[in-house]
Amino acid sequence: DVVMTQSPLSLPVTLGQPASISCRSSQSLVDSDGNTYLNWFQQRPGQSPRRLIYKVSNRDSGVPDRFSGSGSGTDFTLKISRVEAEDVGVYYCMQGTHWPLTFGPGTKVDIK
């Protein structure tokens, strides 16, 4: 199985400051079709997961443009340009290239 690791696991941030979460996979996530199926999800307390980013860098409709995804191969990053209070929650990366699908352990973002 592809192992997804995230760092840090806990990220206290100051409102208005940037934040960055790293996600690494144990194998390349480039699919045979040329796509890289790396997603980012936000899960606010008590809510269902919400997809923010798909295929590395494509932001979902309605997701603020302060969120951005980047990376390739086995190394990926989610960046928040200026953290707002509503960004508190747990962020997961997930790979959809290899079966079984696997998630990172999650990064808990809260406000300092």
Partner 1 sequence: EVQLVESGGGLVKPGRSLRLSCTASGFTFGDYAMGWFRQAPGKGLEWVGFIRSKAKGGTAEYAASVKGRFTISRDDSKRVAYLQMNSLKTEDTAVYYCTRRVVTPGYWGQGTLVTVSS
Cα–Cα distances (Å) from 30 to 52, 65, 103, in that order, read 20, 25, 16
Residues 43-82 that bind partner 1 (CB under 8 A): 43, 48-51, 54-55, 60
Secondary structure class of 72 (helix, strand, coil): strand
Distance CA 94, CA 23 (A): 9
**110 near partner 1 (CB under 8 A):** no
99: which 2 tokens? 């079966």
Residues 20-49 that bind partner 1 (CB under 8 A): 37, 39, 41, 43, 48-49
From first CA to last CA, the distance across the chain in angstroms is 36
The smaller minimum CB distance to partner 1, of residues 41 and 76, is found at 41
10: which 2 tokens? 């806990």
CB of 39 to partner 1, least distance (A): 6
Among 2, 7, 57, 103, binds partner 1 (CB under 8 A): 103
Binding region for partner 1 (CB under 8 A)? 37, 39, 41, 43, 48-51, 54-55, 60, 92, 94, 96-97, 99-106
